Amino acid sequence: MDDPASQRVRTAVCAKLCTITLDDPSRRNALGSGLLEQLERAIAQADSLARHDEIVVLLLRATGRVFCSGFDLEECVQNEQTLAQFVRRLSALTRAIRAMPAVVVAQVQGAALAGGCAIVAACDIVCASEQATFGYPVHRIGLSPAVSLPTLMATVGCGSARTLALSSDVVDAKRAQALGLVHTLACDADALEIAATALARAIAVKSPVALRATKLWLNELDGTHPSGSLGAHADSVTEATAALCTAPESRLLLADFWKRRKATS
């Protein structure tokens, strides 16, 4: 049995609703080896529950002031293969979220950056507080946000996806709503929890067969289905992005970025 103190992801199931909570606030819910492994297991479990009609909705949330700050860069600095491995795992995770039969609702109370933003973009409905921020500030370490592009483009459109992916800008929740990434906006974290929970519970009582069919059709129409115009390129984009991670430029930029961060921390 896992030590409860080592649990960075927590899962609860009640009345056709599965709630997955990222619970590593001291590390800004960063996607390190431990949290990623637990999140992968939790998503796989939720997918199985959805396919057996035991849940209709997945609510994805986090504790602390930050939803998810992206990859754990300390791990990536220590091992030059880790960043590429994280990219591949993030790609698989976002595709699993989008393909899951359950409706996936994100509850974002703070920063959702880089890999955190990729996870949000893969969800079906995004609820955020006005304090939330979103973006892909990864070019500074020689990395591309391309693994997020299929779901990001399907969600916000080509123009907005191009802007977010190339500018490295971090946008506030109101701007993210205007771009189409955020669908429901709440004034603060408390109001957000009420709104997101109410929405998830309202969906959970709907017909699972009709919802599953609707999500499948949406994925086929927006191209994120594995055979679609966007989904079919996911593997090649992922491998091209992973290759960047071990290139000399990325290794130098990452080392320099981490050195400067440690100096100011």
* pLDDT tens, residue by residue, 67-123: 999 999 999 999 889 999 999 999 999 999 999 999 999 999 999 999 999 999 999
pLDDT the model gives residue 53: 94
Cα–Cα distance for residue pair 123/98, rounded to 1 Å: 6
Amino acid at site 244:
L
**Can you tell me the mean pLDDT for 121-131?**
98
144 in a structural domain: yes
Cα–Cα distance for residue pair 95/105, rounded to 1 Å: 15
Flag whether pLDDT at 134 surpasses 90.
Answer: yes
Question: Which tokens hold the place of 45?
Answer: 């479990």
Cα–Cα distance for residue pair 123/152, rounded to 1 Å: 10
pLDDT the model gives residue 3: 57
Tell me the pLDDT band of 9, cut-offs 50, 70 and 90: very high
Question: What does 179-220 look like in DSSP terms, one character per residue?
Answer: HTS--EEESSHHHHHHHHHHHHHHHHTS-HHHHHHHHHHHHH
204 in a structural domain: no
Percent of the chain beyond pLDDT 70? 98
207 in a structural domain: no
209 in a structural domain: no
CB-based contacts of 164, cutoff 8 Å, min separation 6: 134, 135, 136, 145, 152, 156, 171, 179
Tokens 């779901």, located at residue: 151
Domain count, the chain: 1
CB-based contacts of 91, cutoff 8 Å, min separation 6: 147, 234, 237, 238, 241
Cα–Cα distance for residue pair 91/97, rounded to 1 Å: 10
pLDDT the model gives residue 161: 97
Cα–Cα distance for residue pair 189/185, rounded to 1 Å: 10
231 in a structural domain: yes
pLDDT the model gives residue 232: 93
16 in a structural domain: yes
Average pLDDT, the chain: 95
Flag whether pLDDT at 48 surpasses 80.
Answer: yes
203 in a structural domain: no
**Domain region containing 141:** 4-187+214-264
Name 126's bridge partners: 106
194 in a structural domain: no
Tell me the pLDDT band of 55, cut-offs 50, 70 and 90: very high
CATH of the domain at 53: 3.90.226.10
